[in-house]
Amino acid sequence: MFTVDVKRRTVLRAAAAGGVGAGLAATGVAAPAGADRRTGTDGPARRPRIAVLLFDGVTPIDAIGPYEVLCRVPGASMLTVGKRTGPVRSDNGVLTLGVDHTLRDVRWADVLLVPGGNVRGVQADPAMIGWIQQLHRRTTWTVSVCTGALVLGTAGLLRGLRATTYWGVQTQLAQFGATFVPHRFVESGRIITAAGMSAGIDMALHLAAKLADDRIAQALQLTVQYDPQPPFDTGSPDKAGPELQRLALELLNPGGR
């Protein structure tokens, strides 16, 4: 768990105001693992607690992209949550990510992040869907990346909303009463859905500005050195065209998309 103590937050506020000096080395940065942010002196909006749902079949970058941005929002604490603690396997089986907290242990969050991947198991699991519905009642922001939007849809959270998802499953949003919008991310009330995989980074910078302010979000963009210069320009279905679309889906190893 990552938290930032009050003294450090004072430094960061000074930094945001343009007057930062050195000073960081002199301040305590990380609170002990397991620290409860509710014991802090700040309200929820100032020390956001961010819950990231992990599950077997997750696409790691859907979680990791936003994580790298959001875990560095001043005061943020971030929790990985799943059916049980321990490792979950990625969509293609290569990687494992660790879950530190069970659904039962995490009953509220300011931000709920639902990544995508092979989400059929999550969609079919009443305990996970129920947990999402319960957390969503109290979140400030409920966000998804990639096919995580299909999970939010299954939980009934997208009815009547504009939303986005992975380009390869965009037609599936309609079954949840949502209107697909081909944007990088879509904010509808307190729900933000991001497009596929890497789009989570763009969405997280937008969300960081909401949780903190524009200057913090701009600094976080530099922290993760997000100055994209891909060697090709085929990252959206329109730019890629039908032949590359077919090849891209072949390469995806579709299990749950």
Decide if 218 contacts 212 (C-beta within 8 A). no
Strand partners, 163: 180
Minimum CB distance to a copy of itself, residue 160 (Å): 25
Taking CB under 8 A as the rule, does residue 247 contact a copy of itself?
yes
Alpha helices in the chain (DSSP H): 6-16, 60-70, 120-123, 126-136, 148-154, 199-211, 214-223, 237-251
Minimum CB distance to a copy of itself, residue 43 (Å): 21
Active site residue 146: yes
Taking CB under 8 A as the rule, does residue 108 contact a copy of itself?
no
Q: Tell which one of 68, 123, 162, 256 touches a copy of itself (CB under 8 A).
A: 68
Decide if 176 contacts 165 (C-beta within 8 A). no
- Helix (H) / strand (E) containing 211: helix 199-211
Of 78, 146, 195, 199, the catalytic one is 146
CB nearer to a copy of itself: give 93 or 177: 93
Q: At what angle do helices 199-211 and 60-70 cross, to 10 degrees?
A: 30
Q: Identify residues 4-43 at the interface with a copy of itself (CB under 8 A).
A: 11-12, 15-16, 18, 20, 24, 29-30, 33
CB nearer to a copy of itself: give 6 or 209: 209
Minimum CB distance to a copy of itself, residue 181 (Å): 13
- Contact region with a copy of itself (CB under 8 A), list: 41-49, 104-112, 153-161, 206-214: 206-214
- Contact region with a copy of itself (CB under 8 A), list: 58-66, 103-111, 127-135, 155-163: 58-66
Q: Which residue in the block uniquely carries the two structure tokens 């100032």? A: 46
In terms of Cβ atoms closer than 10 Å to its own Cβ (0-12, 13-18, 19+), residue 77 is buried
Q: Tell which one of 53, 61, 149, 161 touches a copy of itself (CB under 8 A).
A: 61
**Binding-site residue total for a copy of itself (CB under 8 A)?**
85
Taking CB under 8 A as the rule, does residue 171 contact a copy of itself?
no
CB atoms near residue 151 (< 10 Å)? 26
C-alpha to C-alpha distance for 72 and 12, rounded to whole angstroms: 11
Taking CB under 8 A as the rule, does residue 243 contact a copy of itself?
yes
CB nearer to a copy of itself: give 87 or 156: 87
Backbone angles phi, psi at 187, to 5 degrees: -100, 120
Minimum CB distance to a copy of itself, residue 158 (Å): 19
Strand partners, 187: 192
Decide if 165 contacts 237 (C-beta within 8 A). no
CA 160 to chain centroid, in Å, comes to 22
Dihedral sign for Cα 61, 63, 66, 67, please: negative
CB nearer to a copy of itself: give 78 or 178: 78
CB nearer to a copy of itself: give 137 or 250: 250
Catalytic residues: 146
